[in-house]
Structure 1
Amino acid sequence: MSSDRLDIKTDSALLQQYKAGRDLAVLGVLYNRYMSMVYGVCLKYLKDRDESKDATMQLFEKLATSLHQHEVANFRAWVYVMAKNHCLMQLRARKGKNFEEISPLLMENDATEHPGEEPELESNLSKLEDCMGTLVAEQKQCVQLFYLEQKCYREISALTGYDDNKVKSYIQNGKRNLKICMEKNA
């Protein structure tokens, strides 16, 4: 398949294709869409261009295995959080137990470095990802299909084998449980 055709595919379609065939070219097309964002996140935390470039490449290498270990519904949000966590781990490893030296970097709240990306959004995406993991499998699956993949009840019913009323119930209960979890972790 030509790379031109890969460029027009959605993130979800590329993820499915990569998981099915483990073709690094497919993963490369997907990663290229967000490489500048990943580099920006790394630069924000690491404050060094060369280290940020290295971290960006390390993250690409990690993706090859991480995508097979995790169910990813929103690649952009997932890779953003993955980049942030990678950089924080590097900072912690570099500074050892001197957390006081790192804390000003973690508390940085300058929205001008990444216009359009608010720190609150980052925090909420991270909480949402954690809370999704607390849902029972049926709720998680239906919530992901409905909200992230924008499927209707009938499509979800056809994909999962649950009747329409069960799908509606799983979505409503999942949404309620996510809200409770998000409020608890606020």
Structure 2
Amino acid sequence: MQLIPFYRKKKEKPDSELLGLYLETREPEVLGELYARYMHLVYGVCLKYFKEPEKSKDAVIQIYEKIHLEIHRHEVKNFKSWLYVVTKNHCLMDLRKKKPGETVRVSTEEEWGLFMENEAELHPVDRTPDEMPEQALEKCIERLKAEQRKCIDLFYLKNKSYREISGVLEMEEKKVKSHIQNAKRNLKICMEEKK
């Protein structure tokens, strides 16, 4: 005789399925379930930048409210990666509000590793200020071709999707992707020269 367990662990839906369901239904519970999977990572990123647990906890709530408003305006393919970019941008924008000349220390890669398991190698645009001088990066961005510079600015600094950039620059999405890939390659080469 086979015994049937009195409970079964609820099988989690993949991120992409939950994301699709939320975009279709706009049910806050669905987005809440998806966000809950990565709240510890969001908190970790915030703690890395702010160094203050209370401020980081507040930021976790602010970021949830932000994604609730912004997720419909972006073509999100990988929720975790998109959430990381939104979180990082939120923290950097908050830190930029500090007084001019005030320095901000960012954690080391070892500390970062505690929060982001298997984090892929970051592109120079995604690196933190203490890993790479901002002036050097700005000079490398200035050296890019005009189209590449515009695409990088809209994609990384203004957090626009390929589709949005395509509309703003009146350019095919394929071209936008190509310009961003080429710009990333050129920035990497430029930054390596400046090491």
For the aligned pair, the TM-score class normalised by the smaller chain equals 0.5 to 0.7
Which moved further from structure 2: 27-36 or 114-123? 114-123
Q: Where does the alignment leave 5 or more consecutive residues of structure 1 unmatched?
A: 140-172
Amino acid aligned to 1:101? T
Change (3 A) 1:87 1:124: closer
Aligned twin of 1:85: 89
Amino acid aligned to 1:114? G
Deviation at 1:31, TM superposition (A): 0.2
Structure 2 counterpart of 1:25, from 15, 26, 29: 29
Aligned twin of 1:182: 184
CA contact (8 A) 2:50 2:56 kept: yes
Deviation at 1:177, TM superposition (A): 5.2
Aligned twin of 2:13: 9
Paired with 1:33 and 1:83, the residues of 2 have a C-alpha distance of: 14
Q: SS where residue 122 of structure 2 aligns?
A: helix
Aligned twin of 1:156: none
Structure 2 counterpart of 1:70, from 69, 74, 83: 74
Higher helix share: 1
Structure 2 counterpart of 1:97, from 74, 96, 100: 100
Deviations 1:98-135 (A, max 9, x none): 3x412x33xx43323424455843657787x6497367
Identical aligned pairs, as a percentage? Answer: 38
Paired with 1:92 and 1:177, the residues of 2 have a C-alpha distance of: 28
Deviation at 1:91, TM superposition (A): 1.3
Aligned twin of 1:50: 54
Paired with 2:177 and 2:120, the residues of 1 have a C-alpha distance of: 23
Aligned twin of 2:109: 110
Q: Give RMSD over aligned pairs.
A: 3.0
Deviation at 1:176, TM superposition (A): 5.9
Q: SS where residue 114 of structure 1 aligns?
A: helix
Q: SS where residue 37 of structure 2 aligns?
A: helix
Change (3 A) 1:60 1:122: farther
Paired with 2:181 and 2:26, the residues of 1 have a C-alpha distance of: 35
Change (3 A) 1:114 1:122: farther
Change (3 A) 1:122 1:26: farther
Deviations 1:13-34 (A, max 9, x none): 1111111111000001100110
Q: SS where residue 75 of structure 2 aligns?
A: coil
Deviations 1:151-176 (A, max 9, x none): xxxxxxxxxxxxxxxxxxxxxx8886
Deviations 1:38-75 (A, max 9, x none): 00000010100110000001111111111011111111
CA contact (8 A) 1:109 1:119 kept: no
The structure with more radius of gyration:
2
TM-score (norm 1): 0.63
Paired with 2:86 and 2:27, the residues of 1 have a C-alpha distance of: 21
